[in-house]
Amino acid sequence: MELKVKKVERIDGVRESFYIPAAFGGLRLTVRHFFRNLFGSKDVVTINYPEEKRPVSMRWRGRHRLTRKDDGFLKCVACYMCETVCPAKCIHIEAGEHPDFSIEKYPARFDIDELRCVFCGLCVEACPKEAIRMDTGVVAMAYSSRKTFDFTRDLLRDEYDPRKHDSPKYGDEDLPRPESKESALPNSQGIPAV
């Protein structure tokens, strides 16, 4: 194959060698940007992160949450589908026997280790009851202790966001953990949901 030679045209001459026309051309561009941004930051696209947050789309896979039925109880039936499909093995479920005989099982424990989670979304796809979703919009989780990343059932259910807590110190001692497991028992026999 014959090699093709492309000759790059070099602009020489007095006009180029004194740099002044080129300098003025450049100045025209930068001055325009300067004055546009001096009066009202028109071109600035920066999001001042901790104060402003970038809106995420509805399909963004953020932190998990457990959805609830209209009566306030968890939709989860403890079928272990998500735990089985999870490639990172970060979901741990313990099924409990429900007092209401019309409901077979409920999750006595539903723990997600968010540090192990790879946010693949397979658990959401696997769930037959639409009980688990990743639509909280919590983009960044940054806490100072590993234990804080272990989200238990009640923390997941409450759509709890530590950053929205009144005193966001990000320590696990600041997390409002539920008093007892029974208080969150999902049933239809008049035991309060929360």
Partner 1 sequence: MEFIIEILSIPIIQSILKIIFIILLFAMPLGTVLTLMERKWSAMIQDRVGPNRANIGKYTGHGLLHIAADGLKSIFKEDTIPHGANGFLYLIAPFFGMIAGVATFAIIPIAGPIGDFTFQVTDIEPGLLFIFAITSLSVYGAVLAGTSSNSKFALLGGTRASAQMISYEVFMGLALMGIFMVYGSTRVSVIVDGQNEYWFGNLIPMWGVFTQPLGFFLFFTALIAETKRAPFDAPEGESEIVAGYFLEYSGMRWSAFMLAEYIAVAGVAVLMTTLFFGGYHVPWLHLWESAPQWLITILQITKFSIVTIFFCWIQIQLRWTLPKFRFDQTMSLGWKKLLPLSLANTTLTAVVVLTFM
* Residue 167 in tokens: 């005193």
Contact 102, 66 (CB under 8 A): no
Closest distance of CB 60 from partner 1, Å: 25
Least Å distance, CB 38 to partner 1, is 6
Nearer of residues 17 and 102 to partner 1, judged by Cβ: 17
Least Cβ distance, residue 162 to partner 1 (angstroms): 23
Pull the structure tokens for residue 141.
């989780």
Residues of the shown chain interacting with partner 1 in the complex, contacts defined by CB under 8 A: 17-20, 23, 26-27, 29-31, 33-34, 37-38, 41, 43-46, 48
Nearer to partner 1 by Cβ, of 1 and 29: the residue is 29
Which one, 30 or 102, has the nearer CB to partner 1?
Answer: 30
- Return the number of the residue (43 or 182) whose C-beta is nearest partner 1: 43
Q: How far is the CB of 47 from partner 1 (least distance, A)?
A: 9
Contacts 24+ apart (CB under 8 A), 116-120: 116/88, 116/89, 116/90, 117/64, 117/88, 117/90, 118/87, 118/88, 119/61, 119/62, 120/61, 120/87, 120/88
